[in-house]
Amino acid sequence: MKTYTLLLALIAIIALSSCKQYKKYKDVPFTEPNPKPWEDPTVFAINKEAPHAHFIPFTSAEQARAGNKWQSPLLKSLNGTWQFHLSQNPSERPFWFFQDDFDTRDWDEIAVPANWEVVGFDYPIYTNVKYPHAKTPPLIQEHYNPVGSYKRTFEVPQEWNGSDVILHFGAVSSSMNLWVNEQFVGYSEDSKTPAEFNITKYLVEGSNTLAVEVFRWSDASYLEDQDFWRLSGITRDVYLQARGKQALKDFQVGSNLDESYKNGLFSLDVEVVNQGSLTVEAVLSDNGKVTKKYSKTSNDKTLSFDAEIPNVKQWSAEVPNLYELIITLKNGNEILEVIKQDVGFRRIEIIDATLRVNGKYVYVKGVNLHEHHDVNGHVMDRETMMKDIKTMKEHNINAVRTSHYPQPAEWYELCNKYGLYLVDEANIESHGFGAVHQGDFDKSKHVAYLPEWADAHLYRINNVLQRDKNQPSIIAWSMGNECGNGKVFFDGYKMLKEKDPSRLVQFEQAESAENSDIKCPMYWRIPQMIKFAEETPVQPLIQCEYAHAMGNSVGNFQDYWDVIEKYDIMQGGFIWDWVDQGLLTTNEAGEEFWAYGGDFGPDTVPSDGNFCNNGLVNPDRAVKPHLLEVKKVYQHIGFKAVDLSKGLISIKNKYAFLNTSVFNFIWEVTGDGKTIDKGQLKKTDLAPGETKNFDIDFSYQPEAGVEYFLTLKAVLKEDLNLVEAGWTLAEEQFRLPFKAAKTKRSKANLPEIKLSENDKTIAILGEGFSLAFNKKSGEMSSFKKGETEMLISGPVPNFWRAPIDNDFGNDLHNRSRVWRKAGENRKVSTVSVQKINKGTAKITLLFDLVDAEGTKIADYKSTYTIYGSGDVLVENGFKMTGDKLPEIVRMGMNLVMPRKFDQMTWFGRGPHESYNDRKTSAFVGLYSGSVAGQYWAYLRPQENGNKTDVRWLTITDKEGNGLFFSGMPLSEVSAHHNIMEDFESLERTDGRQVPGIDVINRHTTDVKPRELTTVNIDYMQMGVGGDDSWGGVTHDKYRLTEKEYKYSYRIKAISSADDVLDIYKNGHLFLQDHDSEVHIKNLKIKEL
């Protein structure tokens, strides 16, 4: 009977629970706070815990050393699936959702952490300067300001009884209200630093309810106007943390060096929650060997330790030596908690107006880093962070500016371990109100100059300082970006220097050294840099942003560094930026592509288009071609020719701390791309800064017509800071000054060719080949070897390229548009045919180049000399006739071949694409690949795949049949299974477009391979530039600004039986017949 009664009771309980009463609270009045915290600049935190150093408490040293925070008994993750509801604006939000009986049965679910816009709720918005909402500070527009309502339950572990429970949100954007068990707990702003709340008094035994209300925009958004995707939600880890009545509250580590730079100055200040007597033990060790050990028992709430560490191992980005600090709190013999902190001893200072690390002059070879994942938005994971650091280290990047906000705490721990210098930036940007150095703005309305906003600024600066103060990788604090220079930033500078005198403070908006230790402008061009260095060298010049890497960019980067290394005051900068901020998206056809601004939401959504794609790597971290140029220019080992005729070269160790003994130095001599001799240098252990000459004992007998190159590489012997053994970190190539006399050959016995013509066509028949020319179009219409047709359409003059982003930025697409169709719209004025001798014929074509209205703008002459050998010499002459004509984008010819000719081999710079202002990383060699493989898919399609300093090129089928091309002496070439228009956007899509002109976002999925192969044979196309993407033009020496050009190249149909090298070497025969001025001005550009 007793059992039966219990069963009935249980059934009754289940029945009652299943009949739980849910409410919608539709007609229940809700009183908003007045003023609303999310629209009050003086309110940015309610009931939040004070910011403190990042740490994870464990219960043993072994746990702490393992470093897995989720294994700590003092932590409980609240990541995972939460209930979720999204409202379009605050007035429509479910005000009473924090009530336990609020009906959430029809709510959605969402993963935490996540940006709700990338998991199917609302849409991402990308803007640069302009706010994505109405600018009415501190108020936010009412009609559209989505609010995310989150709910879940949790239980507190039984073993936490008696402990305080802290609820930790790693990051929430943009602001949040918090309730626990229906009770309001607090409010927080600052979307990139933690929000912590002591929720102990709100807890109940068993199941607890947690409700979080997140506003997409708030008054905080006026301080978060960064150039990135505007995304919302709970974006970093959420967890509970048990904190005993005796617990660590905060700590600060000092790890400086003394003035000799030999001894470490260690200090530790520990702040504790202490109710009674508490013992704090601190053990500093080096790879398991105890260096110093401390212990204090006290009733105090602050305990301090300090010591000098003789002959301490120093930390630097090159040699990131770390000591382990274990802090243990005890009550008697009972261990209460244990934390671990990496300690790196280094000294950061300015000496003689130059930045020094541990007394050594260093170059900052940096990048800017946004928090971006192509699938997860602003939610980062360890794997991606590790990939970023590994790729940076592999490409000689030694510094990162956390633009424009603090990164997740784990990022700093990884940088400590693997070695990167960090500039840690506060989460402040108010660019939409104006910025210093960028024109006038109204200071009476700018938040940086209004006293009611001052505390909100200082709060953010203090947040990053407190969280990250113990990370040795941080060498400087940054107070923000493009945010004005009001009094608050002088107060902020003073606060930082008082609380942390061990580091520098930089501020891009500073107008003097009064509130910035470093001169850190953005996008200064070379003349401005030189002017500063020669006239006002009072601070180290380290640009916080330079070399804007948007699309196909980073031209003239070597020029930047030639100047930087000339002046001590210049010490580098941070490239903008690391990763293209594309979001992986699928179109209606199921094809994946990386979307950018304007691809989401209605057409009324503000957008700056593809201006978010400025990376050195793709969104998935694939290396883009211009990162290879950065790697070469940034390399920390220099090679110079001393006397190449004797094999004498010099090597300079440009590292500040690393001895070159970690490298093997490999050398190789090649002739026509084939290895002739190779070896390894000996005794290459150069101290930092040391230069030494080396005699390379190569041996070979020069052959006629062969070019010889010496290539040196510094290859890691063993793994080093994520870079694997065998990786090349520095390399150089030299052209050797050896050549043999060419064998004299005669053209007298060339096979006979037959020439015929009618009103429409000129036909030439030779031994095993034939050509035809269309008189009306002035175009080679056929080129056959045997019965195999090589052409769809013959070479036509080409003066255009698919505009790159820098072209749009400086208006080249409009300024030089007259040349876009000039070749296609040419008018034939004269066709002449001449039989020189039985084995030679010459066809001369004269054209008028006209503009869109038909007005003549230039004369163009093409001469085809056809030899009985099957060689065709093409000589082109160009002369402007119009007045005030703009520069030419490209000087070359384009032809189209059938699709089956899909293999490309070239002897020139490679293997990756290069341009005349971005080619130092592309060495001359013999390269082969598919035509399809030459296409680099920039996120917004544009010019790509160019190769410079090409001696010869073949485009063939897989059997080796096709066309041979040879520059006279050099050409630029490219080949694609597309026409130029496939890569072309007619108007810019970067948010700076002209009103009234439709913007069409184009993507990689818009580029479909065609059943053809196009080949560009160019004298040159202009460089890509890279100073910036909103006005900076390609440097003069890399442009086509002359009024007259002459150039030539050779074509020959080949088969698999032909010896291409022999064909190439006989090219000098054909130089005898044409104008000695055929090669043009600015030849130095073309020389190796």
What secondary structure does DSSP assign to 779-815, as a single string?
A: EEEEEEETTEE--SEEEEEE---PPPHHHHHTTHHHH
- Identify the pLDDT of residue 992: 74
- Identify the pLDDT of residue 1084: 35
Cis-peptide, bond into residue 404, ω within 30° of zero: yes
Based on the domain organization, do 758 and 901 belong to the same domain?
Answer: yes
| Residue 740 domain flag | no
Share of the chain above pLDDT 90, in %: 91
Q: What is the CATH number of the domain that holds 24?
A: 2.60.120.260
| Residue 607 domain flag | no
Token pair recorded at residue 141: 């527009």
CB 1020, CB 973: distance < 8 Å:
no
- Identify the pLDDT of residue 746: 63
Find, among 371, 372, 363, 417, the residue nearest to 390 by Cα.
417
Please give the full DSSP string across 162-214, using - where no structure is assigned. Answer: TSEEEEEES-EESEEEEEETTEEEEEEE-TTS-EEEE-GGG--SSEEEEEEEE
| Residue 62 domain flag | no
Alpha carbons 764 and 772: distance in angstroms, whole number: 6
Determine the structural domain holding residue 304 and report its residue range.
247-343
Based on the domain organization, do 640 and 627 belong to the same domain?
Answer: no
Based on the domain organization, do 830 and 869 belong to the same domain?
Answer: yes
Q: What is the CATH number of the domain that holds 288?
A: 2.60.40.10
- Identify the pLDDT of residue 275: 81
CB 52, CB 243: distance < 8 Å:
no
Q: What is the CA radius of gyration of the chain?
A: 34
Alpha carbons 680 and 696: distance in angstroms, whole number: 9
- Domain end residue (candidates: 707, 735, 763): 735
Average pLDDT over residues 819-825: 95
- Identify the pLDDT of residue 337: 96
Alpha carbons 56 and 75: distance in angstroms, whole number: 8
Give the other-Cβ count within 10 Å of 17's Cβ: 8
**Average pLDDT for the chain:** 94
| Residue 952 domain flag | yes
Based on the domain organization, do 215 and 259 belong to the same domain?
Answer: no
Alpha carbons 96 and 79: distance in angstroms, whole number: 24
Based on the domain organization, do 41 and 17 belong to the same domain?
Answer: yes
Residues facing residue 324 across a β-bridge: 285, 342
CB 866, CB 840: distance < 8 Å:
yes
Q: What is the pLDDT of residues 273-321, one digit of tens each?
A: 988 889 999 999 999 999 999 999 999 999 999 999 999 999 999 999 9
- Identify the pLDDT of residue 579: 98
| Residue 326 domain flag | yes
| Residue 541 domain flag | yes
Label residues 1048-1061 b or e (16+ Cβ within 10 Å = b). Answer: bbbbbbbeeebebb
Q: What SS3 state is found at 61?
A: helix
- Identify the pLDDT of residue 1070: 60
Query: Could you tell me the pLDDT band of residue 995, with boundaries at 50, 70 and 90?
Result: confident
Give the other-Cβ count within 10 Å of 306's Cβ: 12
Dmax (CA) of the chain? 124
Q: What SS3 state is found at 702?
A: coil
CB 555, CB 1026: distance < 8 Å:
yes
Over 90: is that where the pLDDT of 1071 sits?
A: no
Over 60: is that where the pLDDT of 1077 sits?
A: no
Q: What is the pLDDT of residues 320-367, one digit of tens each?
A: 999 999 999 999 999 999 999 999 999 999 999 999 999 999 999 999
- Please name the residues in contact with 390: beta carbons below 8 A apart, sequence gap of 6 or more: 722, 723
Q: What is the pLDDT of residues 760-806, one digit of tens each?
A: 999 999 999 999 999 999 999 999 999 999 999 999 999 999 999 99
Tell me the backbone φ, ψ of residue 488, rounded to 5 degrees.
-60, -30
Based on the domain organization, do 535 and 673 belong to the same domain?
Answer: no
Domain count, the chain: 5
CB 370, CB 228: distance < 8 Å:
yes
- Identify the pLDDT of residue 748: 67
- Domain end residue (candidates: 238, 269, 299): 238
Q: What SS3 state is found at 112?
A: strand
| Residue 602 domain flag | no
Share of the chain above pLDDT 70, in %: 95
Min mean pLDDT across 5-19, 146-160, 603-617, 859-873 is at 5-19
Tell me the backbone φ, ψ of residue 175, rounded to 5 degrees.
-150, 160
Q: What is the CATH number of the domain that holds 394?
A: 3.20.20.80
CB 1005, CB 937: distance < 8 Å:
no
Query: What region does 867 belong to: left with phi over 0, alpha with psi -120 to 50, or beta?
Result: beta
Alpha carbons 651 and 731: distance in angstroms, whole number: 11
Residue in this structure with the two tokens 């359409």, named with its chain if needed: 793
Three-state SS string over 613-625 comes to: CCCCECCCCCECH
Query: Could you tell me the pLDDT band of residue 700, with boundaries at 50, 70 and 90?
Result: confident
Find the distance separating the first CA and the last CA of the chain, reported in whole Å.
101
Q: What is the pLDDT of residues 77-87, one digit of tens each?
A: 999 999 999 99
CA angle 875, 878, 884 (to 5 degrees): 170
Alpha carbons 397 and 424: distance in angstroms, whole number: 16
Over 90: is that where the pLDDT of 539 sits?
A: yes
Over 90: is that where the pLDDT of 608 sits?
A: yes
Alpha carbons 42 and 49: distance in angstroms, whole number: 17
Min mean pLDDT across 25-29, 192-196, 369-373, 610-614 is at 25-29
**pTM of the shown model:** 0.95
Based on the domain organization, do 327 and 430 belong to the same domain?
Answer: no
Based on the domain organization, do 231 and 181 belong to the same domain?
Answer: yes
Over 50: is that where the pLDDT of 819 sits?
A: yes
CA angle 80, 84, 89 (to 5 degrees): 140
Counting Cβ atoms within 10 Å, is residue 100 exposed (0-12), middle (13-18) or buried (19+)?
middle
Q: What is the pLDDT of residues 743-764, one digit of tens each?
A: 555 666 899 999 999 999 999 9
Alpha carbons 550 and 975: distance in angstroms, whole number: 23
- Identify the pLDDT of residue 682: 95
Secondary structure E strands in 332-465: 334-343, 348-351, 354-357, 360-361, 364-368, 399-401, 421-425
Alpha carbons 753 and 241: distance in angstroms, whole number: 89
Q: Beta strand pairing status for 570-575 and 541-546?
A: parallel
CB 599, CB 585: distance < 8 Å:
yes
Alpha carbons 405 and 482: distance in angstroms, whole number: 12
Q: How many CA atoms lie within 13 A of 414 on its CB side?
A: 19
Alpha carbons 533 and 565: distance in angstroms, whole number: 12
Q: What SS3 state is found at 235?
A: coil
Residue 107 DSSP one-character state: -
Token pair recorded at residue 176: 């949040």
| Residue 1066 domain flag | yes
Which positions are catalytic?
482, 545
CA angle 482, 488, 491 (to 5 degrees): 120
- Domain end residue (candidates: 220, 238, 256): 238
Based on the domain organization, do 317 and 297 belong to the same domain?
Answer: yes
Over 90: is that where the pLDDT of 886 sits?
A: yes
CA 371 to chain centre: 11
Average pLDDT over residues 427-449: 97
Based on the domain organization, do 947 and 1066 belong to the same domain?
Answer: yes
Alpha carbons 805 and 611: distance in angstroms, whole number: 9
- Identify the pLDDT of residue 742: 61
Min mean pLDDT across 17-26, 437-446, 750-759 is at 17-26
Based on the domain organization, do 532 and 663 belong to the same domain?
Answer: no
CB 134, CB 141: distance < 8 Å:
yes
Alpha carbons 666 and 679: distance in angstroms, whole number: 6
Find, among 172, 167, 168, 175, the residue nearest to 201 by Cα.
167
Q: What is the pLDDT of residues 1003-1057, one digit of tens each?
A: 999 999 999 999 999 999 999 999 999 999 999 999 999 999 999 999 999 999 9
Alpha carbons 326 and 197: distance in angstroms, whole number: 26
Secondary structure E strands in 24-68: 45-46
Based on the domain organization, do 264 and 210 belong to the same domain?
Answer: no
Find, among 410, 247, 266, 398, the residue nearest to 330 by Cα.
247
Q: Which one-letter amino acid corresponds to residue 894?
A: N
Average pLDDT over residues 576-596: 97
Q: What is the CATH number of the domain that holds 831?
A: 2.70.98.10
Find, among 824, 811, 724, 727, the residue nearest to 779 by Cα.
824
Tell me the backbone φ, ψ of residue 411, rounded to 5 degrees.
-55, -45
In the chain, helix, strand, coil percent, each to 5?
Answer: 15, 40, 45
Helix (H) and strand (E) counts in the chain: 12, 58
